[in-house]
Amino acid sequence: MRVAHRRTTTVRCLTALTLGLLALTGCGGPDDGPDDGQAATATATATASVTSAPPAPSPDGTAPSSGPSATAARWAGTKQFVQIDDARTAGGRTYLSVRPAEKKPHPRFEAWVIVPGEGPYTEVSMTEDAQVLLSVPLGDAKHPAAYTQDEFVGRLTARSSSDRALLGFDLSFDGQGRVTRVQSLYTP
């Protein structure tokens, strides 16, 4: 029993280290240009490997949480490219249902092509003062412009689920894993 516990602890530590390294090497700066999607692919692969591992029981005998707090901790202090399936406001806070995706430069226009991710969506929360920048087709112009969180939620949820699958967003997270900035990518 003790050997199995040590092995589980070792696997957890190695997984945390791997995810930390992926986050550090897979994140770009504010001047991100088009990338080849390797960071998003690595993040999606790491996420899939972590979620497929069997959960180890916590000291009270229950399985540990793999919900929003686990994702929030993993993305704390990073920038992620995601799809947003849904958004809602509750208790004065905005929540987004997200999953990693890829972005590729459009072959003919100065725009992006969104490559949908796979796997489940995870709910993350936004800070009260999070910045929202939207471009066409979610915003009114090609270049990003500022919108309120309520306007963002209304514009996103007014679109069909199939339309939302074609949208991509750069999200910035604070040290607690809350979204501090949302920017939609211009897609024709």
Whether the pLDDT of residue 10 is over 50: the answer is no
First to last CA, the chain: 57
Question: Is 111 exposed, middle or buried (CB count within 10 Å of its CB: 0-12, 13-18, 19+)?
Answer: middle
The 10s digit of each residue's pLDDT in 28-75 is 443 444 444 434 333 433 333 333 333 334 333 333 334 455 766 789
Residue type, 22: L
Q: What is the pTM of this model?
A: 0.62
